[in-house]
Structure 1
């Protein structure tokens, strides 16, 4: 049987793949600041690895190049691809990369993408995994199952975290049982145990992606967000997940270490609650890039994460305008593992 394996995010990357933000139906009047913070993210990632960016047209390319120059980003560290997308969420519409342990090769997994249950156009996004695989010259496996990269998190040691609210949602794979979904996760990501949490946070249009609530930070440790305000809509959701987390064990039966992160103060846009969460950080080779939200909990969240990631610089970037698009830095990024 073929042995595929998804490395943990903190393992060394060959690079990071992104899609440049532009969609006016996603970012509205915020697009200029969104692009400014986005290129700040690119700068920090580029200090440790190559950054690949999908763009739609010449206007986007010129805008990106101008901003990269303004922020003094090394142009040799950024590869621009004329691969048009519907939106910026490369974690979900891009290929998910795994290793073939027998051949020692990289493999691009192309799960079906239906824009989080058919919520948005996705005709261009559907083509991105194929183009990524072709550019890198790696094998592509097409999988008859809807799955987004933000809905899973792995520890590189046999465990995969996900949520029932997303993967078992009838708008994803109504023809598949929970057991069939688990079998595919084990087969393609090289894991032996699936850890199911319940609901995602309020305002998350993905139906509850794991990368907004709980993340592996090493092989036996998770970091999870907690809401202290009992009157907040997220309080009960996150308490339930926290209590479930306490029952989880690794593949050897050992309980997981659990570190808690605060939730930021609620962020709203035109009266709607946004899915602002410090858990949506991205672990690059050089830095851990953390969304901040102009509130007094930002500093505490950064301090907690810096205490966890001692070998990397933890960088907070204001994501108050980016989260108007209903995601932040982890949602925007997709890592390409390093083979050797």
Structure 2
């Protein structure tokens, strides 16, 4: 395993210059990586309800590909007991369980090599709006996985999380200005400078900037809760028809950008609307089981959650999506199944994951097949 620190003054150090690029999530995978929840100020009742939900997600994805679950030492035996034998449990310490954001962004090369990007991480905003402190264990996860896999690691000099981007594998990336241009991430970089980082690091040619992410998304607007590629030239967008709901304007802003954009191949995008659940709010009993700490994000009774059906995981033969609202789950699952006619869509009850601030896509990270 070797590390390369990216230097804009030396273009030959970039993944793009060396022939690497980020493949689409719907491209073939070798594995999926997850982390085990246990943080008491994120997950209620000692994370036991969340652990059951994570285990169900892991089992669903394991129908499609190998699943690794990283666990802190003090939870290793418990996780090994709760997860079936074909789920691979590895000791991999973390501050919380959001593998999409703290794990690697994997890259592939035409000659069959695998590499990863190691972004800077500051818990979604550092001391200016971040969700917890410290995040030292999270920062080491990418290095450890690179060591485990024996692959090159490109250390990128920007704060960025995996949930902030989606690619089509053909040169196009979608992100949000709310997140990537947020002052609590990279205050010294403007939009053009961030685009150059994305071009050089991920091998993309064209960036589509959506204004904002979902309403009250505590990640400062991650795109994976709002919109994602389901195929080249095809995207799915969280939708809301209630004009009194703040999500209404957000979704229409995004739709206007998407419908007037083209991808790196010059194609217009076909936008599929996926109605949001709810709105959903934290119940009194759900908030009462969470530790209240001064350095963590508060989770109070009545708070609205950034619920979205778009936050699904695309596996080799399955799509694992959250079930969040009995009034809308069946219709949403039908829409997702229509988007992936060759895969089996598995719905997993995911409110316990949502209570922690994210969902299925946020807790997973695909390892592509080179």
What TM-score bracket applies, with the shorter chain setting the length?
Answer: over 0.9
Task: Provide the TM-score with structure 1 as the length reference.
Answer: 0.95
- Are residues 114 and 150 of structure 1, via their aligned partners in 2, closer, same or farther at CA, if it must alter by over 3 Å? same
Q: Distance in 2 between matches of 1:185 and 1:133?
A: 21
Q: Which runs of 5+ in 1 are unaligned?
A: none
Q: Which runs of 5+ in 2 are unaligned?
A: 1-16, 283-300
Q: Secondary structure at the match of 1:15?
A: strand
Matched with 2:25 is 9
Alignment of 1:207 onto 2:225: no
Mapping of residues 324-339 of structure 1, within 5 Å: 324-339=355-370
Q: Distance in 2 between matches of 1:36 and 1:241?
A: 34
Asked if 2 retains the 8 angstrom alpha-carbon contact of 1:228 and 1:235, the reply is yes
Q: Distance in 2 between matches of 1:233 and 1:298?
A: 21
Question: CA shift at 1:2, angstroms?
Answer: 1.8
Question: CA shift at 1:30, angstroms?
Answer: 7.2
Mapping of residues 153-232 of structure 1, within 5 Å: 153-232=166-245
Alignment of 1:23 onto 2:31: no
Matched with 2:118 is 110
Question: CA shift at 1:28, angstroms?
Answer: 2.2
- Are residues 232 and 30 of structure 1, via their aligned partners in 2, closer, same or farther at CA, if it must alter by over 3 Å? farther
Q: Distance in 1 between matches of 2:259 and 2:326?
A: 29
Q: Distance in 2 between matches of 1:284 and 1:252?
A: 25
RMSD, matched Cα: 1.2
Instruction: Give the alignment partner of residue 346 of structure 2, picking from 307, 311, 315.
Output: 315
Asked if 1 retains the 8 angstrom alpha-carbon contact of 2:59 and 2:87, the reply is no
Asked if 2 retains the 8 angstrom alpha-carbon contact of 1:44 and 1:286, the reply is no
Asked if 1 retains the 8 angstrom alpha-carbon contact of 2:38 and 2:46, the reply is no
Instruction: Give the alignment partner of residue 301 of structure 1, picking from 303, 319, 332.
Output: 332
Q: Distance in 2 between matches of 1:107 and 1:177?
A: 27
Q: Secondary structure at the match of 1:188?
A: helix
Q: Distance in 1 between matches of 2:216 and 2:53?
A: 22
Q: Distance in 1 between matches of 2:267 and 2:106?
A: 28
The runs of at least 4 consecutive aligned structure 1 residues that moved more than 6 Å come to none
Q: Distance in 2 between matches of 1:15 and 1:288?
A: 14
Q: Secondary structure at the match of 2:351?
A: coil
Mapping of residues 261-276 of structure 1, within 5 Å: 261-269=274-282, 270-276=301-307
Question: CA shift at 1:285, angstroms?
Answer: 1.6
- Are residues 30 and 211 of structure 1, via their aligned partners in 2, closer, same or farther at CA, if it must alter by over 3 Å? farther
Q: Distance in 2 between matches of 1:20 and 1:56?
A: 8
Asked if 2 retains the 8 angstrom alpha-carbon contact of 1:16 and 1:49, the reply is yes
Question: CA shift at 1:237, angstroms?
Answer: 1.1
Matched with 1:100 is 109
Matched with 1:65 is 80
Q: Distance in 2 between matches of 1:29 and 1:295?
A: 24
Asked if 1 retains the 8 angstrom alpha-carbon contact of 2:21 and 2:201, the reply is yes
Q: How many residues end up aligned between the 2 structures?
A: 331
Task: Provide the TM-score with structure 2 as the length reference.
Answer: 0.87
Asked if 2 retains the 8 angstrom alpha-carbon contact of 1:265 and 1:295, the reply is no
Q: Distance in 1 between matches of 2:322 and 2:265?
A: 34
Question: CA-to-partner distance for each residue in 1:73-101, whole Å, 9 max, x for gaps?
Answer: 3x2x3222211100000000011100133
Matched with 1:45 is 61
Q: Secondary structure at the match of 2:93?
A: coil
Q: Distance in 1 between matches of 2:271 and 2:235?
A: 5
